[in-house]
């Protein structure tokens, strides 16, 4: 475990749910927590990260994402929260419940195309509240249209980061 200061994180992806098509379809959060604990590494060497969008996809609910963050934090293993949106309807990003990194919705004009995102200021606030003192918070987004210019991409990134700052 001499990682020269690096820390390994297991990112929770959506678990396989009977009757649904999974985006990733890996282990349940409970299985991942058990696997990380079974290694016997220190919490500062091996932990978990929660991708908000993938957790929302797994449960078809914004509450699943918050609950996954809460459970992982309570287990003492939460090291990062990745704020990546999801939608329950078809969008320019793809079909409903797909892992497409739709930006959060918000009042900034740059976020108008992502108005169908389930991730907004309230959800970001609830997630960060559940996370407590998490060492890392990231935003993972993609911009539409795919051929958007650099200025558009930067304005979407700034608006998404502002959502986190507001939360």
Instruction: Assess whether pLDDT exceeds 80 at residue 2.
Output: no
Instruction: Assess whether pLDDT exceeds 90 at residue 104.
Output: yes
pTM: 0.92
Residues with Cβ within 8 Å of 129's Cβ and at least 6 positions away in sequence, in order, are none
Dihedral angle computed from the Cα positions of residues 125, 130, 132 and 136, in that order, rounded to the nearest 10 degrees = -70
Mean pLDDT of the residues in the chain: 93
pLDDT band at 144 (very low <50, low <70, confident <90, very high): very high
Instruction: Assess whether pLDDT exceeds 90 at residue 82.
Output: yes
pLDDT the model gives residue 15: 84
The average pLDDT across 126-147 equals 96
CA distances to 49, 62, 104, 140, 166 from 85, rounded to whole Å, are 15, 10, 6, 8, 17
How many alpha carbons fall within 13 Å on the CB side of residue 62? Answer: 19
The average pLDDT across 106-135 equals 96
- pLDDT, tens digit (0-9, with 9 covering 90-100), for 13-41: 888 888 877 777 788 999 999 999 999 88
pLDDT band at 147 (very low <50, low <70, confident <90, very high): very high
Burial grade of 110 (CB within 10 A; 0-12, 13-18, 19 or more): buried
Residues with Cβ within 8 Å of 116's Cβ and at least 6 positions away in sequence, in order, are 87, 88, 89, 91, 102, 105
Cα–Cα distance for residue pair 30/16, rounded to 1 Å: 13
- pLDDT, tens digit (0-9, with 9 covering 90-100), for 41-59: 877 789 999 999 999 999 9
Tokens 């459970």, located at residue: 71
Report which DSSP code applies to 94: B
Helix (H), strand (E), coil (C) string for 5-53? CCCEEEEECCECCCCCCCCCCECCHHHHHHHHHHHCCCCCCEEEEEEHH
Structure tokens at 162: 């502002």
The average pLDDT across 71-92 equals 96
CB-CB contact of 71 with 55 (8 Å): no
């Amino acid at each position: 475990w001499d990682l020269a200061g690096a820390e390994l994180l297991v990112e929770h992806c959506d678990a396989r749910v009977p009757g649904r098509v999974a985006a990733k379809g890996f282990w349940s959060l409970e299985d991942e927590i058990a696997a990380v604990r079974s290694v016997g590494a220190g919490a500062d060497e091996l932990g978990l990260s929660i991708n908000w969008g993938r957790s929302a996809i797994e449960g078809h609910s914004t509450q699943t994402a918050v609950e996954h963050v809460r459970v992982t934090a309570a287990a003492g293993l939460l090291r990062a929260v990745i704020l990546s949106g999801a939608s329950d309807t078809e969008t320019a990003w793809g079909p409903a419940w797909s892992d497409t990194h739709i930006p959060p919705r918000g009042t900034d004009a740059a976020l108008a195309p992502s108005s169908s995102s389930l991730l907004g200021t309230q959800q970001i606030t609830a997630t960060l509240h559940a996370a407590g003192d998490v060492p890392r918070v990231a935003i993972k987004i993609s911009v539409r249209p795919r051929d958007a210019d650099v200025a558009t991409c930067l304005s979407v990134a700034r608006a998404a980061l502002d959502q986190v700052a507001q939360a």
